[in-house]
Amino acid sequence: MRKDWAGSGVDLHLELAAGGGRRRALEEALRQAVRDGRLPRGTRLPSSRTLAAELRLSRGTVSAAYDQLVAEGYLATRPGSGTEVATTPSAPGMPPGAFPAEPTPGPLHDLRPGQPDVSAFPARAWLRATRHVLATAPAAVFGPCDPRGRIELRTALAGYLARTRGVLTTPDLIVVTTGFVQAVNLLATVTGGPFAMEDPGHDFYREVVRRAGREVVPLPVDELGARTGTLTPDVAAAVVTPAHQYPMGVPLHPSRRLALRAWGGLVVEDDYDGEFRYDRRPVGALQGTAPEQVVYCGTTSESLGPGLRLGWMAVPPALIGPVTEAKLHADAHTEVLGQLVLARLIETHDYDRHIRAARLRYRHRRQRLRARLSGVLPGAALPGVAAGLRALLLLPPGGPPEAEVLAACERAGIALRPSSPLWHGEGRDGLLIGYAAPSERAYPRALEALASTLEGTLAGTLAGREPRSRPARSSS
């Protein structure tokens, strides 16, 4: 009795043209599938016995077709591995695009902000936690989920956030999201009226709020953080980064925190890198002083990696119903396995150990960056406190414009971000440098490449200021 197709090892959809012989029809069907990209390079094909049974052909017919396509360079055979689509096309006349293009290579020196050193991802701890979850979790956890997220993660987060950030919440008031983008989008959906957003601040988040149909009002920032005294009663919500302002790097002054609470509107606290303070213990979350007014938001994007798409919101009781309903209609719920694994990491304190190790590495990197850049721009300082995974370097007045410096960096293979788009209006020229992104081995080379490029680009500016003053100082 022929084995049923539903139990075969590899699914392969082929349409054999009628007439002209079955072997020739099979050859052309396979050849066309490779050309179209439906069979990408490296794809393993069914055995000749299995494919013959599925297509109701003789095994000899399939073997002969495979042999012909191997000879033409479409397929390849490896002892013990069967037949697969060739990794290097060699058939004459094979059109461009028959094989998927190689992924675009990344920059030589990746200093883009917004990501940690993903080469230091705690893979072993994640694997241990994954194995534990798969071995112990009941099958029901892979069924429908509460829109707020798995109770295991919400419970773990309530304890972790209280212990490390001073957040006052319960599992029932936590909503698991795919990150801050989804969190602020959900809040813009359920909250009417304008949103005040820091100026300067994250330009992408401003666009998220606008696309949700909300007006964005600039909330000016100075050396004390957001100028909360400029908030008016008609503003529905204020989005702030109290622990470490993005991008100026200053914490919100205590008097401004009090003023924000006295203002009385909804506060959205983006605690994007609250764990990473290097000169002292991190400032506690604003939410802990006003849990009825503040929505606390955090993610694993800067602690583990943005690819995980795991974030959370601690929501005031008055908003948990509308936010949960909005989450249900946005995506039903966040994927389950990652939630359970993260909960396990928190419970075993593997997450704490990873944060502590990362904090030490990034502190050293920031110190090296500051020391190296002070040699390039004497007197230049990175604004803000010693914290976070990025630094803002404002370019000196009278020097080359931001676009010129960025172009020089791009020619040197350095990827980073300009600072000017972060302002709501006309911005200040500068560079936003993500010193956490490169691996430990790559960071020294990336830092030296950046410093050398800046020295070359700003040479004219520095020559116009420094060399004339140095002789006068030495002769006095």
pLDDT tens-digit readout, 33-42? 888 888 888 8
pLDDT number for residue 75: 92
pLDDT tens-digit readout, 346-403? 999 999 999 999 999 999 999 999 999 988 887 666 789 999 999 999 998 888 999 9
Average pLDDT over residues 418-437: 95
Average pLDDT over residues 135-162: 97
pLDDT tens-digit readout, 294-312? 999 999 999 999 999 999 9
Query: Distance between CA 275 and CA 253 in Å, rounded?
Result: 18
Answer whether 302's CB lies under 8 Å from 180's CB: no
69: nearest Cα among 81, 80, 53, 85 = 85
pLDDT tens-digit readout, 246-273? 999 999 999 999 999 999 999 999 999 9
Backbone angles phi, psi at 187, to 5 degrees: -65, -35
Q: What percent of the chain has pLDDT over 90?
A: 72
Query: Distance between CA 349 and CA 368 in Å, rounded?
Result: 29
Backbone angles phi, psi at 248, to 5 degrees: -70, -20
Q: For residues 425-455, b (16+ Cβ closer than 10 Å) or e, as one string?
A: eebebbbbbbbbbbeeeebeebbebbbebbe
What average pLDDT is seen over the chain?
90
369: nearest Cα among 325, 327, 416 = 416
Specify the higher pLDDT residue, 143 or 98: 143
pLDDT number for residue 87: 79
DSSP assignment of 258-313 equals HHHHHH-SEEEEE-TTTT-BSSSSPPPPGGGG-TTTEEEEEESTTTT-GGG--EEE
Tally: H helices and E strands in the chain:
14, 15
| Residue 101 pLDDT greater than 50, yes or no | yes
Query: Distance between CA 148 and CA 143 in Å, rounded?
Result: 14
Domains of the chain, start order: 14-85 (1.10.10.10), 121-349 (3.40.640.10), 353-462 (3.90.1150.10)
